[in-house]
Chains A and B, each alone.
Chain A
Amino acid sequence: MTIKKEEGRESARIEHCPSCNSVLTKNNIYFCRGETPRVYVECAECGIFVARYALISYTSDKSYESLLRKMRFTRANSGKRTMKMIEGFETSVKKEFEHVLELVKTDEDKRHVEDIIAEDYSNEED
Chain B
Amino acid sequence: MAMEILTGKNIRTLIILSVSLAAGFAISRFAPEGLSGAGRVTLGIFTVAALLWTLEPFPLHVTSFIIVALEVVFLGRAGGPLGFSGNQYGIFLEPFFNPVVVLFLGGFTMANAVKRYGLDERISRMILRRVGSRPNTVLLGMMATTAFLSMWMSNTATTALMLAVALPLMRPFAPGEPFRKAIILGIPFAANIGGMGTPIGTPPNAIAMGILDSMGISISFTGWMIRGLPLVIALLFVSWFVLCRIFPAETDSIDVNIPDEEESLGVKSQFILYAFAAVIILWLTSSYHGIPSSIVALLPIILFFGLRILDDEDFKDLGWNILIIIGGGMSLGIAMKESGLSTWIVGLIPFEGIGLLSVLFIFAFSAAALTTFISNSATANLLIPIAVGIGTVQPMTSAVVIALAASAAMILPVSTPPNAIAYGSGQIDVKDMAKSGAIITIISIVAVTLFIFLLF
Contact = CB atoms under 8 A, between A and B. Distances in A.
Given A64-B425, A78-B417, A82-B156, A73 B115 contact: yes
Nearest to B53: A78
Contacts of A70: 160
Contact of A72 (B115, B117, B415): B115
Interface string B130-161: 00000000000000000000000010110111
A123 interface: no
Contact of A77 (B160, B417, B419): B417
Interface in A71-85: 71-83
B19 interface: no
B116 interface: yes
Contact of B421 (A6, A68, A77): A68
Contacts of A45: none
B60 A78 contact: yes
B160 A68 contact: yes
Given A34-B116, A71-B160, A87 B413 contact: no
Nearest to B414: A79
A71 B167 contact: no
A74 B157 contact: yes
A91 B269 CA distance: 37
B373 to A, nearest CB: 9
B424 A73 contact: no
15 contacts: A36-B313, A65-B164, A68-B161, A68-B421, A72-B160, A73-B317, A74-B154, A77-B321, A77-B375, A77-B376, A78-B417, A79-B375, A82-B421, A83-B423, A86-B420
Interface in A82-112: 82-83, 86-87
A125 B161 CA distance: 31
Given A34-B309, A75-B319, A79-B375, A67 B424 contact: yes
Most B-side CB within 10 Å, residue of A34, A73, A78: A78
Contacts of B112: 73
Given A65-B164, A72-B157, A77 B377 contact: yes
Nearest to A6: B4
Contacts of B266: 33
Interface of B: 4, 56, 59-60, 108, 112, 115-118, 120, 154, 156-157, 159-161, 163-164, 167, 203, 266, 268-269, 309, 313, 317, 319, 321-322, 325, 375-377, 409, 412-417, 419-421, 423-426
Given A6-B4, A74-B156, A87-B424, A79 B163 contact: no
Size class of the A contact interface (CB-based, 8 Å): 20 to 34
B424 A86 contact: yes
B418 to A, nearest CB: 8
Nearest to B319: A75
Nearest to A90: B424
B133 to A, nearest CB: 23
A36, A64, A75, A87: which has the most chain B beta carbons within 10 Å? A75
A75 B156 contact: yes
Nearest to B4: A6
Contact of B161 (A34, A72, A80): A72
A69 interface: yes
A33 B416 CA distance: 31
Contacts of B154: 74-76
Interface string A1-41: 00000100000000000000000000000000110100000
Please provide the 7 A-B residue pairs with the shortest distance between their CB atoms, ordered closest to farther: A86-B424, A71-B160, A76-B417, A82-B420, A75-B319, A82-B417, A79-B414
Nearest to B376: A77
Contacts of A75: 108, 154, 156-157, 319, 321-322
A71 B425 contact: no
B419 to A, nearest CB: 6
Contact of B118 (A33, A76, A86, A87): A33
Given A33-B117, A34-B268, A87-B424, A78 B59 contact: yes
A76 B414 contact: no
